A and B are shown apart, each in its own frame.
Chain A
Amino acid sequence: MKTHQAKRVEITIEAVMQSRLTEALNKAGVTGYTILPVWGGSGRSGNWTRQGQVSRGQGMVQVICIIKPDRLDTLLEAAFAVVERHIGVVSVVDCEVLRAERF
């Protein structure tokens, strides 16, 4: 089956910044993404877990975008403006998709 090159961008960010990030992505023309809850983890700011969280201020989410390679810079610029000062991870990996017209 024929597949097409794409970029998969994973942005793990604080839950309080989710709407700001997706708003910035929408403004940049990136309207397709998936948001996943993050159960827990460990990093420079220490360990944390969703269990027992009483505030959205402590939770994290992951926003996943799959886009055509030529739109990557636009997405990253929009995302970076939001996530620059905040806890989180932005990673980009190559992937392949079946229906290129959807991205």
Chain B
Amino acid sequence: MDQILSLAATNLLSPIILCFVLGVLAALARSDLHFPEAVAKGMSIYLLFAIGFKGGVSVADHGIDLNLGLSLLAGIFLSALLPLIAFAILKALTSLSRLDAAAVAAHYGSISIVTFVAATSVLEASGITSEGYMVAVAAAMEAPAILSALWLISRGGDAEDGARRMDSALLREIMLNGSIVLLVGSFVIGGITGADGMARIESFIVNPFQGVLCLFLLDMGLVAGRGLREGGAVLRPGPLAFGVIMPLVGSSIGLVTALLLGVSTGGTALFMVLSASASYIAVPAAMRVALPEANPSIYLTLSLGVTFPFNLTLGIPLYVAIAQTFGGG
């Protein structure tokens, strides 16, 4: 345990996590610090492209193996399963309506790509390698959770049929949302061009990466802090506890999955991070279309104001430390 806490403390004091903390504190203190919308969008495009490309190059270097397919299937399965577990915990811990609980559950089955990017950065800084295809696993985990949440609603009987809420337009929007297209697209480009491609753009996507991530997480800290400040009032102790308990439950399931798959220590940490994180980009948009009656203040405050900061500050260091202790070779 001492080793885990020591490793966690080391990771906690990285520039990216401290930048995030600065953003949260600035927002809570009502500072006027903010990033222009276009700058934040530009940074997120850069980070998604860089992480996708690097993942593709890594797969090109190491080749495609059976574990890639199995990991993708495991990711899809986890994304579909986690909302069911989250829903059961929510019903036990909170008095949320079936609709609100299903909407929250969808967020916890899907993933936060920013948390994933931050985790890969922490792994790199620690000299821990991970499977390049984890980028594809992250993309595969975005959507199944939404279908699980709609299934939960359709089981309710008194609510509208889940299938009717998921029309073809919504399915297309989910599957082709900008983050997925950019991540998968740059992953494929990295895979096709391999080391040669990396050599051509390395100075753009490798060296500035940490600095851009610091600024981006400073902005995300501001967003999370604002969300916590404004949405905190709507959350009772039950949902708040869920926001911390669920990532721990999810990461434990991710750990078991990774150990069964036999992935590397870095891959184990990333499976834990993906299972622990909650979406705040793709799923909220889908929920506004499919479940407009659900209260967005609850699911956004939980995923963005509680779980995201928890994962970035305490979760990632903890997951990496646990993966180093129990993880594969």
Question: Which residues of A pack against B, CB within 8 Å?
Answer: 14, 16-17, 19-20, 45-47, 50-58, 85-87
Contact = CB atoms under 8 A, between A and B. Distances in A.
A12 to B, nearest CB: 14
Contacts of B280: 54-55
B126 interface: no
Interface in B266-282: 280-282
Interface stretch (B182-190, B220-228, B240-248, B250-258): B220-228
Contacts of A47: 230
Nearest to A87: B292
Contacts, number: 57
A52 B27 CA distance: 11
Nearest to A20: B169
Contacts of B286: 57
Given A51-B37, A52-B226, A57 B296 contact: yes
3 residue pairs, one from A and one from B, having the closest CB atoms: A57-B284, A57-B285, A52-B223
B289 interface: yes
B34 interface: yes
A56 B174 CA distance: 12
B290 to A, nearest CB: 10
A14 B288 contact: yes
A83 B293 CA distance: 12
A81 to B, nearest CB: 13
Given A52-B219, A54-B281, A46 B230 contact: yes
Given A51-B37, A54-B281, A85 B297 contact: no
A94 to B, nearest CB: 31
Contact of B220 (A14, A51, A54, A56): A54
A85 B292 contact: yes
Contacts of B293: 85
B289 A53 contact: no
B164 to A, nearest CB: 12
A53 B283 CA distance: 14
B285 A16 contact: yes
Given A50-B37, A52-B219, A54-B281, A16 B226 contact: no
B284 to A, nearest CB: 3
Contacts of A17: 288-289
A57 B226 contact: no
Given A17-B289, A51-B37, A52-B219, A58 B230 contact: no
B198 interface: no
Contacts of A53: 37, 223
B280 to A, nearest CB: 6
B118 interface: no
Given A52-B34, A55-B280, A16 B288 contact: yes
Contact of B300 (A14, A20, A58): A58
Nearest to A85: B292
Contacts of A46: 230, 297
A27 B282 CA distance: 28
Interface in B76-126: none
Contacts of B288: 14, 16-17, 57, 86
A57 B287 contact: yes
Contacts of A16: 173, 285, 288-289
14 contacts: A16-B288, A17-B288, A45-B296, A45-B297, A52-B34, A52-B219, A54-B281, A55-B280, A55-B284, A57-B288, A57-B296, A85-B292, A86-B288, A86-B292
Given A16-B289, A57-B285, A58-B300, 14 more contacts: A17-B289, A20-B169, A51-B34, A52-B34, A52-B219, A52-B223, A53-B37, A53-B223, A55-B285, A56-B285, A57-B296, A85-B292, A85-B293, A87-B292
